[in-house]
Chain A
Amino acid sequence: MTELNKLTLAEARDALRKGDVTSVELTQACLTAIDGADALNAFVHKTPELALERAKAADERIKAGDAPAMCGLPIGMKDLYCTKGVASQAASGILEGFVPEYESTVSQKLQDAGAVMLGKLNMDEFAMGSSNETSVYGDSVNPWKIDDRKLTPGGSSGGSAAAVAADLCLAATGTDTGGSIRQPAAFTGTVGIKPTYGRCSRWGIIAYASSLDQAGPMTKTVRDAAIMLEAMAGHDMKDSTSADLPVPNFEAMLTGDIRGKVIGIPKEYRPEGMSEEIAKLWDEGAAMLKAAGAEIREISLPHTKYALPTYYVIAPAEASSNLARYDGVRYGHRAKLGSGDGINEMYEKTRAEGFGPEVKRRIMVGTYVLSAGFYDAYYNKARKVRTLIKRDFENAFAAGVDAILAPATPTSAFGLGEMKSADPVEMYLNDVFTVTLNLAGLPGIAVPTGLDSKGLPMGLQLIGRPFEEGDLLNTAYALEQAAGFVSKPAKWW
């Protein structure tokens, strides 16, 4: 048998049920891999005792014949999820020392399904970033390496992507507000799905932009994404936007048969100056789906170019409201006050010290676009354009398109620090292919399909109809089978 931490969820599940391996052995293999991978800075709060305790309990359940979907499978948890008794600080200084008294619904569901949490994973502060460079824990590092440079694993779920790609865990949770699951998946040769808005409960997940945030799994294969999404999804009374719809058996829908499906190729996703490598990868992906029996059809999503500016009004506006709660009163950091300082000085100093530069920038941009006199010009305007962006997709689906194929990212992974001096807007351009789905609430999945000429993984993105993740996963499965991507990063850490 290969090293246990390198197994997929499906392989480990089957081995556990056959009695070939125990959860304690799987967990121990991951904990050893984690301890040897501090150079990646992926796990930022390790919970080995808790993990072994849960692994033992999982082994008991399996022995008793009570083995739910994820029973005994070791996973990593993004730091954005509140986990009872375990530090949860959204990679922010303002939540330093915060230990929740409660468990997020999604992490609770995973725990109920028997999953074993190994620890908390690095990310961009409050999920604001595309390179994992805004974290209070420092950068997370991509296990893929082609020269002396350290590369970004992407963001914001950078630690999750790095941990899965480096086999530190069998799978991990992520969250996606503008591309934060799909972009890091593409940068690390892993699979990441952002489900339909409302599919997973947001309760207990530290909020960034509530109308865009969705939880999802980050895994080694499409099958694993199906297994883990089913365990994470479902209605929750504690999140009024969670959808009261049955969760299908996603794994059972993976037939690989996509004959007769119509795959849309949006012409607006091929902007002037697009890298030839990405264009070639995209064409090859379309050819693979065609060879599998799908019909390829060019479509138009005319408002695509306005998605990023719309996002950068709506997301900061919601963030400025959500992050108002960090005031130094109820949890986390409070600044040391000078004599004579009142409550306003406490708020202002606490927030200046606790938040990093990108978070402050977005809070203030959000404050501005919501302020008297600009609300209509910016915020309401963006909400109207958002309606049009969603309508573009509705029109495509109404015309018979089953799924849309597009690139996941404009480039492969770039070097850490290379964008440091760039304009904030340049970093925002990383989300150009992913952000449209969050605005339209649609499910999207990144699937690794090849290596670029530098030897770095690249992924394609499939976009599905709302609440039809099963069909989307099946199309992704067909693409995965056809692409046959099996490359792994060579261990250097």
Chain B
Amino acid sequence: MSIDTGTAAKVAKLARIKVEDDQLPALAEEFNRILGFIEQLGEVDVEGVEPMTSVAPQRLKRREDVVTDGGYQDKVLSNAPDAREGFFAVPKVVE
């Protein structure tokens, strides 16, 4: 399995990380080295083995689906790079 620059560009796009075109060959090579290392897993016989979903053998706790806290609009917005009129502000999304 080999990753080419096209695949590297696609992965960067999916991850929403801008990678300049001239950086793509190096990125693809890095992916190939890391994935080459991961390929070892192919040797393991996992016939009939369940994929792990939880490392601890306990059931997740349940609680009533009710509001337990809230009302902190100012605190929620206090770290925003751009907050206006009680909202997060972002560049135009729809024309």
Q: Indicate, yes or no, whether A interacts with B.
A: yes
User: Which residues of chain A are near B30, meaning CB under 8 Å?
Assistant: 361, 424
Known: A97-B79, A351-B15, A364-B11. 10 other contacts (CB 8 A): A99-B79, A101-B79, A305-B40, A309-B41, A347-B16, A349-B18, A368-B31, A381-B41, A386-B52, A388-B49
How many A residues are at the interface, by size bracket? 35 or more
> Closest 10 CB pairs between A and B?
A383-B51, A441-B55, A334-B81, A331-B79, A348-B18, A384-B46, A352-B18, A101-B75, A347-B16, A367-B15
> 8 Å CB contacts to A: which residues of B44-58?
44, 46, 49-56, 58
- Residue of A with least CB distance to B61: A240
CB <8 Å contact, B52 and A331? no
A113 within 8 Å of B (CB atoms): no
Partner of A211 from the list B55, B78, B91 (CB cut-off 8 Å) is: B55
User: Which residues of chain A are near B40, meaning CB under 8 Å?
Assistant: 305-306, 309
CB <8 Å contact, B56 and A244? no
CB <8 Å contact, B15 and A244? no
Segment of A269-277, A336-344, A485-493 engaged in the interface with chain B = A336-344
Number of B residues with CB within 8 Å of any CB on chain A: 50
Tell me the minimal C-beta distance from B77 to chain A in angstroms. Answer: 8
A98 within 8 Å of B (CB atoms): yes
CB <8 Å contact, B51 and A240? no
User: Which residues of chain B are near A439, meaning CB under 8 Å?
Assistant: 55
User: Which residues of chain B are near A243, meaning CB under 8 Å?
Assistant: 56, 58
Partner of B50 from the list A240, A361, A378, A384 (CB cut-off 8 Å) is: A384
CB <8 Å contact, B46 and A330? no
B66 within 8 Å of A (CB atoms): no
B63 within 8 Å of A (CB atoms): yes
| A–B pairs, 25, beta carbons within 8 Å | A101-B79, A306-B43, A306-B44, A309-B41, A324-B16, A329-B88, A331-B79, A341-B91, A342-B92, A342-B93, A343-B93, A344-B16, A351-B18, A352-B18, A360-B17, A367-B11, A371-B11, A384-B44, A384-B46, A384-B50, A385-B46, A390-B55, A424-B30, A425-B33, A425-B34
> 8 Å CB contacts to B: which residues of A361-394?
361, 363-365, 367-369, 371, 378, 380-388, 390
CB <8 Å contact, B90 and A309? no
Secondary structure of the A contact surface, majority rule: helix
- Residue of A with least CB distance to B53: A383
CB <8 Å contact, A424 and B91? no
- Residue of A with least CB distance to B89: A329
Tell me the minimal C-beta distance from B10 to chain A in angstroms. Answer: 8
B38 within 8 Å of A (CB atoms): yes
User: Which residues of chain A are near B41, meaning CB under 8 Å?
Assistant: 306, 309-310, 313, 378, 381-382, 385
Partner of B16 from the list A97, A309, A327 (CB cut-off 8 Å) is: A327
User: Which residues of chain A are near B18, meaning CB under 8 Å?
Assistant: 345, 348-349, 351-352
> 8 Å CB contacts to B: which residues of A102-153?
none
User: Which residues of chain B are near A387, meaning CB under 8 Å?
Assistant: 49-52
B14 within 8 Å of A (CB atoms): yes
A475 within 8 Å of B (CB atoms): no
- Give bound CA distance, A241 to B51, whole Å: 18
CB <8 Å contact, B34 and A198? no
> 8 Å CB contacts to A: which residues of B1-20?
3, 7, 11-12, 14-19
Partner of A351 from the list B16, B43, B75, B76 (CB cut-off 8 Å) is: B16
- Residue of A with least CB distance to B60: A240
A346 within 8 Å of B (CB atoms): yes
Partner of A363 from the list B17, B31, B54, B88 (CB cut-off 8 Å) is: B17
B65 within 8 Å of A (CB atoms): no
CB <8 Å contact, A364 and B15? yes
CB <8 Å contact, B91 and A329? no
Given contacts A211-B55, A347-B16, A383-B52, contact A330 B88 (CB under 8 A): yes
- Give bound CA distance, A390 to B57, whole Å: 12
CB <8 Å contact, A241 and B81? no
User: Which residues of chain B are near A337, meaning CB under 8 Å?
Assistant: 91
| A 292-308 binary contact with B (CB < 8 Å = 1; else 0) | 00000000000101101
- Give bound CA distance, A371 to B38, whole Å: 16
Partner of A342 from the list B42, B63, B91 (CB cut-off 8 Å) is: B91
A64 within 8 Å of B (CB atoms): no
- Residue of B with least CB distance to A362: B34
A333 within 8 Å of B (CB atoms): yes
CB <8 Å contact, A380 and B51? yes
User: Which residues of chain A are near B76, meaning CB under 8 Å?
Assistant: 101, 330
User: Which residues of chain B are near A313, meaning CB under 8 Å?
Assistant: 38, 41
A328 within 8 Å of B (CB atoms): yes
Given contacts A306-B44, A328-B81, contact A365 B56 (CB under 8 A): no
User: Which residues of chain B are near A244, meaning CB under 8 Å?
Assistant: 61
- Give bound CA distance, A243 to B88, whole Å: 36
Tell me the minimal C-beta distance from A466 to chain B in angstroms. Answer: 7
User: Which residues of chain B are near A343, meaning CB under 8 Å?
Assistant: 90-93
Tell me the minimal C-beta distance from A342 to chain B in angstroms. Answer: 5
A187 within 8 Å of B (CB atoms): no
A399 within 8 Å of B (CB atoms): no
User: Which residues of chain B are near A342, meaning CB under 8 Å?
Assistant: 91-93
- Give bound CA distance, A378 to B41, whole Å: 8
- Give bound CA distance, A361 to B92, whole Å: 29
Given contacts A343-B93, A351-B16, A388-B44, contact A424 B31 (CB under 8 A): no
Given contacts A101-B72, A441-B56, contact A329 B80 (CB under 8 A): yes
